[in-house]
């Protein structure tokens, strides 16, 4: 009998998920292109078919999805991880914009604000996507900017707009009407009952097309005088951030009472970084560092690694509770310690990512009940050098449900906005090729409704809202000119035996690393294939300080799939959770799994939204 019980313990979680997926896994030998929209994936396939590598294709998809307003635009931000097969290293791309001149706590407090605004010109950091795209292409691509931008330029001249974006514009039209350049682009039927484009209507963005043509023209001029491919792309970069495009961007921004100056654009730059990494049971997992929430996943894996996963069955009450408590702790650390590493104070990342720190945190888990008052830990004893936390007083007074700087909370009778602030923004891009290049991107910002900067056609970012105004809430993420806000954007990549294993990313604001953690465990611990893993139902915690709007916080709320069994619901309720339900809780995850045994790649495209992949 004992032998059969052991068989059940090991096999049942795997058998449970041996079911047909709503989308097929994508099999490929030469290349894969996956992103948030079918036309965006087609742009990547077009680049691959013209001989481009995965970086070229990823840049083509980025340009296309930004042109389609796939929850981002050209004035947003780009975050990427790139695996370089020539060096065997994973590279981080930091193309997040910075707070402009005049963006100080006193400025926003003087306007009666608790945080920088959610919408409008004062929510804009400097644009990062153009610089991020051109830097990736120049440094690691093979094609010209003209070739990579060709699909996006064709789309800017006019493409059939999809239902999601068309209806998003219609739903936001009253806010859009306050901004003259946005109104001109977004609302072609002004004064009619429906003022936004109709789904399938040819949506034209001639100002944006003109801006992209200027970038290609700058590249052409540089090549004509003997500049290299790389130098020519950077000539286009300079035209955007220092030339006539910058002039019009700044003029249009300031006309609408935004703060961005010409010096802000000229002084901004892309950083090529070494990402953070942890090892989970022999797998090296890479994330961008503290200027995004990415290290949350690494901290969480350090903690989950200590769980006895042998009989912790998929999505049982014990499993969901354990993950929720891990998230309580790692997101509390995020909400207090994460910020721009290029500014003081320096984030204690060595301590936060220490295995010993993770062990200490796991010992604090109450396995019988949710802890609504989880606080950040103290990683400084695990740091090199400074061992004493410089913010002990702030840490002592900081709290989950009660704090010296209390986070706004919802009324118990108020419906939690699952489709709004918590999942705000972002698409995801995955690309890989037969030569070994792998790219994972979560670009975002400048989503509908964005303020378009003058006649550039470029929508401005809304990322300023992710700053805080008081050190009591997070001393590392207080708004300051030239500083990057701690964003939610967080691509992932995992290597095994020194080779790419999984590349993955997800949209969804504060839910991103929650969904990526469960996706990773689905594959590594529960034996799912990549498509099963992206479709499997996840849990989401709302016991964290949101990164958007009013930075809402709701301890004890857990989103679970509506098919969660009644006995699991009952047990979670007894543990102190207030459950919310949704039909799809996987999150829009896109991923590539590398099958080295067979010399192929598996692509997983989410069934959550419009995500789509093409492979060959």
Task: Give the percent of the chain with pLDDT over 70.
Answer: 93
Q: How confident is the model at residue 423 (pLDDT cuts 50, 70, 90)?
A: very low
Residue 536 lies in a domain: yes
- Whether 88 maps to a domain, the answer reads no
pLDDT of residue 507: 86
Per the structure, the complete domain to which residue 524 belongs is given by 273-425+487-615
Sheet strands side by side (includes 540-541): 540-541, 557-561, 578-582
- The answer to whether residue 193 scores a pLDDT higher than 90 is yes
Q: What is the average pLDDT across 583-587?
A: 88
Q: Is the pLDDT of residue 400 over 70?
A: no
Residue 365 lies inside a defined structural domain of this protein: yes
Contact 548, 466 (CB under 8 A): yes
What b/e string do you get for 432-444 counting C-beta neighbours within 10 Å, with b at 16 or more? bbeebbbbbbbbb
Q: Does residue 197 lie in a domain region?
A: no
Arithmetic mean of pLDDT over the chain: 92
- Joined tokens for residue 7: 């068989």
More confident residue, 240 or 310: 240
Residue 292 placed within a domain: yes
| Residue partners of 468: CB distance under 8 A and separation at least 6 | 115, 405, 474, 477, 478, 479, 551
Rounded Cα distance between 415 and 545, Å, is: 17
Q: How confident is the model at residue 310 (pLDDT cuts 50, 70, 90)?
A: confident
Enter the tokens of residue 85.
């097969």
Show the beta-strand stretches assigned E in 527-577.
Answer: 540-541, 557-561
Contact indicator for 31, 431 with CB cutoff of 8 Å: yes
Burial 125-158 (b: 16+ CB within 10 A, else e): bbbbbbbbbbbbbbbbbebbbbbbbbbbbebbee
**Is residue 90 situated within a structural domain?**
no
At 609, the pLDDT band (50, 70, 90 cuts) reads confident
- Of 15 and 481, the structure prediction assigns the larger pLDDT to 481
What's the structural domain count of the chain? Answer: 1
Residue 311 located in a structural domain: yes
Is 307 inside any structural domain? yes
For 123-159, write each residue's pLDDT tens digit: 999 999 999 999 999 999 999 999 999 999 999 999 9
Q: Which residue has the higher pLDDT, 95 or 408?
A: 95
The answer to whether the beta carbons of residues 103 and 479 sit under 8 Å apart is yes
Task: Report whether pLDDT(398) > 80.
Answer: yes
Tell whether the model's pLDDT for residue 404 goes beyond 60. Answer: no
- In the prediction, which pLDDT does 576 show? 97
The whole-number pLDDT of residue 587 equals 86
Give me the helices (H) in 243-316, please.
244-255, 262-267, 295-304
Distance, CA of 513 to CA of 292 (rounded, Å): 11
CATH code at 324? 3.60.20.40
**Do you find a cis peptide bond into 345, omega within 30 degrees of 0?**
yes
Q: What share of the chain is helix, strand, coil (3-state, %, to 5)?
A: 40, 15, 45
Task: Indicate whether 486 pLDDT > 70.
Answer: yes
Q: How confident is the model at residue 414 (pLDDT cuts 50, 70, 90)?
A: very low
275-289 pLDDT, tens digit each: 999 999 999 999 999
Over the stretch 513-535, which tens digit does the pLDDT of each residue have?
999 999 999 999 999 999 999 99
Q: Is the preceding omega at residue 449 within 30 degrees of 0, hence cis?
A: yes
Per-residue pLDDT at 426:
64
Q: Out of 174-188, 416-430, 471-485, which region has the weakest mean confidence (pLDDT)? A: 416-430
Q: Is 267's pLDDT higher than 90? A: yes
Give me the half-sphere count of Cα atoms (radius 13 Å) on the Cβ side of residue 277: 18
Residue 410 clears pLDDT 80, i.e. is over it: no
Lowest mean pLDDT among 62-66, 401-405, 465-469, 558-562: 401-405
Environment class of 289 (CB within 10 Å of its CB; exposed 0-12, middle 13-18, buried 19+):
buried
């Amino acid at each position: 009998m004992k032998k059969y019980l052991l068989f059940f313990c090991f096999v049942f979680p795997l058998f449970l998920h041996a079911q047909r997926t709503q989308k097929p896994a994508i099999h490929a030998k030469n290349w894969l292109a996956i992103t948030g929209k079918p036309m965006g994936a087609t742009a990547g396939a077009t680049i691959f078919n013209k001989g481009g590598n995965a970086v070229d294709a990823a840049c083509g998809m980025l340009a296309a999805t930004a042109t389609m307003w796939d929850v981002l635009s050209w004035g947003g931000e780009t975050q990427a991880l790139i695996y370089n097969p020539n060096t065997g290293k994973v590279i981080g791309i930091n193309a997040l914009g910075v707070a402009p001149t005049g963006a100080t706590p006193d400025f926003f407090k003087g306007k009666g604000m608790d945080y920088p605004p959610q919408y409008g010109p004062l929510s804009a950091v400097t644009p990062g996507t153009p610089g991020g795209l051109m830097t990736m292409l120049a440094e690691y691509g093979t094609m010209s900017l003209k070739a990579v931008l060709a699909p996006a330029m064709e789309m800017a001249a006019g493409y059939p707009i999809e239902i999601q974006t068309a209806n998003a514009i219609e739903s936001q039209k009253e806010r859009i009407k306050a901004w003259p350049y946005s109104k001109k682009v977004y609302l072609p039927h002004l004064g009619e009952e429906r003022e936004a484009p109709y789904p399938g209507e040819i949506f034209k963005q001639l100002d944006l097309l003109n801006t992209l043509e200027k970038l290609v023209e700058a590249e052409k001029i540089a090549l004509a005088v003997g500049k290299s491919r790389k130098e020519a792309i950077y000539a286009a970069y300079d035209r955007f951030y220092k030339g006539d495009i910058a002039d019009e961007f700044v003029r249009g921004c300031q006309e609408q009472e935004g703060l961005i100056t010409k010096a802000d654009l000229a002084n901004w730059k892309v950083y090529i970084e070494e990402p953070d990494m942890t090892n989970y049971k022999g797998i090296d997992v890479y994330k961008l560092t503290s200027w995004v929430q990415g290290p949350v996943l690494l901290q969480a894996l350090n903690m989950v690694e200590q769980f006895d996963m042998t009989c912790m069955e998929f999505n049982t009450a014990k499993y969901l509770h354990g993950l929720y408590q891990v998230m309580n702790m790692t997101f509390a650390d995020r909400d207090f310690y994460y910020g721009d590493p290029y500014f003081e104070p320096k984030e204690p990342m060595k301590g936060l990512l220490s295995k010993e720190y993770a062990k200490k945190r796991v010992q604090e888990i109450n396995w019988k009940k949710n802890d609504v008052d989880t606080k950040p830990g103290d990683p400084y004893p695990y740091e090199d050098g400074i061992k004493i936390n410089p913010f002990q007083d702030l840490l002592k007074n900081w709290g989950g449900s009660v704090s010296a700087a209390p986070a706004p909370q919802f009324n118990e009778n108020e419906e939690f906005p699952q489709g709004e602030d918590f999942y705000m923004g972002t698409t995801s891009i995955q690309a890989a090729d037969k030569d070994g290049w792998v790219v994972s991107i979560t670009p975002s910002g400048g989503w509908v409704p964005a303020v378009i900067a003058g006649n550039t056609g470029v929508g401005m970012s809304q990322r300023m809202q992710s700053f805080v105004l008081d050190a009591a809430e997070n001393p590392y993420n207080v708004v300051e000119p030239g500083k990057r806000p701690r964003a939610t954007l967080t691509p992932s990549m995992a290597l095994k035996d020194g080779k790419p294993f999984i590349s993955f990313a997800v949209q969804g604001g504060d839910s991103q690393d929650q969904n990526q953690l469960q996706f990773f465990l689905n594959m590594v611990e529960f034996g799912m294939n990549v498509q099963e893993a992206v479709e499997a139902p996840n849990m989401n915690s709302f016991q964290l300080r949101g990164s958007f709007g009013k930075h809402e916080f709701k301890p004890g709320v857990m989103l679970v799939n509506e098919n969660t069994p009644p006995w699991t619901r009952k047990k979670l309720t007894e543990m102190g959770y207030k459950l919310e339900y949704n039909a799809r809780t996987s999150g829009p995850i896109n991923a590539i799994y590398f099958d080295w045994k067979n010399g192929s790649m598996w692509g997983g495209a989410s069934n959550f939204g419009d995500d789509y992949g093409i492979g060959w």
